[in-house]
Amino acid sequence: MAMGEAPDIADGTLERTVGDLTVRIDPTLCVGFGDCVTEAPEAFELDDEDIAVFVRPEAVERERLLAACRACPVDAITATGPDGSQLAP
């Protein structure tokens, strides 16, 4: 997590609502490959500990945001739809 950034959920998970998606980053799973950053650098970056954090996920169109979530090789980033169904990975 970035310095001074607090987790959004008690277990440390970061969460953002983007349109009809709920996107979550589990920092305990992230190992810093950066594939999410490669796919959508406007949405994600790696912090000082090489853990994915949000930048501006709302700046990325839905399909590209989902592609960035799917790109994570360790499934640290998930996206669910409005009905709670998991759309990525």
pTM: 0.87
Confidence band, pLDDT 50/70/90 cuts, at residue 47? very high
pLDDT tens-digit profile of 2-43?
A: 444 445 666 789 999 999 999 999 999 999 999 999 999 999
pLDDT tens-digit profile of 73-89?
A: 999 999 999 999 999 99
Tokens 């979550």 -> residue: 24
Domain architecture of the chain: domains with CATH: 14-88 (3.30.70.20)
3-state SS track over 12-66: CCEEEEECCEEEEECCCCCCCCCHHHHHCCCCEEECCCCCEEECCHHHCCHHHHH
Cα 27 from Cα 7, distance rounded (Å): 9
Q: Residue 54 carries which side chain, given as an amino acid letter? A: F
